[in-house]
Structure 1
């Protein structure tokens, strides 16, 4: 079961999208009118769609597909750090560091 929320099945889509920790991170960066689409679909379609979207986020100066992959990686790493090291990054820490890393990657 999920160590963060207790959900019975802790699969990839749960860790990266459905767990309340992931949802809180994504709702900080996904526009509210796009959240319904963002949080629907299977894992494959979710990855393909978001990794192929190369639009620059308005006001944030980053390309979405770059930010998406960094946040997904950070969520996965955060889960493993919690399980194996009992270290947990706060939601805003994940968001802020992901934006910073994306900007550095783009420059």
Structure 2
């Protein structure tokens, strides 16, 4: 649960983001709007094609990026694979920071996201049909 959700359920004390401490920590904030997450996404610029990437609501943002089949030519991997991998790494980085006091840099998250995307693509290509 995010801090905002914990507060809504009366099991948290403060709804703000523990990383940037500037906004309430919603799911969208953790995955896109926190300055930490934004730095991670901007590493992919200009791959982040959509002019609405940083303005869509959570559902529209997830759907539009999951359905984006653009190829990230530098890595020969579809955007949606990178997108999902980065989401997972952002969530893990947030949890490491909140629960274990282990901060990570945007570069760490980005590098792990690329690694996981490559592993996924390799396993997908090697799996029997």
Could you state the TM-score of these two structures normalised by the residue count of structure 1?
0.91
What RMSD in Å do the two structures reach over aligned CA positions? Answer: 1.6
- In 2, are the aligned partners of 1:50 and 1:64 still within 8 Å (CA)? yes
5 Å matches for 1:1-107?
Answer: 1-31=16-46, 34=49, 36-107=51-122
**Matched residue of 1:3: which SS?**
coil
Could you state the TM-score of these two structures normalised by the residue count of structure 2?
0.76
1:2-39 C-alpha deviation (Å, 9 max, x unpaired): 11111231100111111000000000013177363211
Unaligned runs of 5+ in 2: 1-15, 123-129
- In 2, are the aligned partners of 1:28 and 1:95 still within 8 Å (CA)? yes
Unaligned runs of 5+ in 1: none
Structure with more helix by fraction: 1
Number of aligned residue pairs: 107
- Higher Rg: 2
**Alignment partners' CA distance in 2, 1:15 and 1:52:** 21
Q: Which has the higher contact order (CA 8 A, sep 6+)?
A: 1
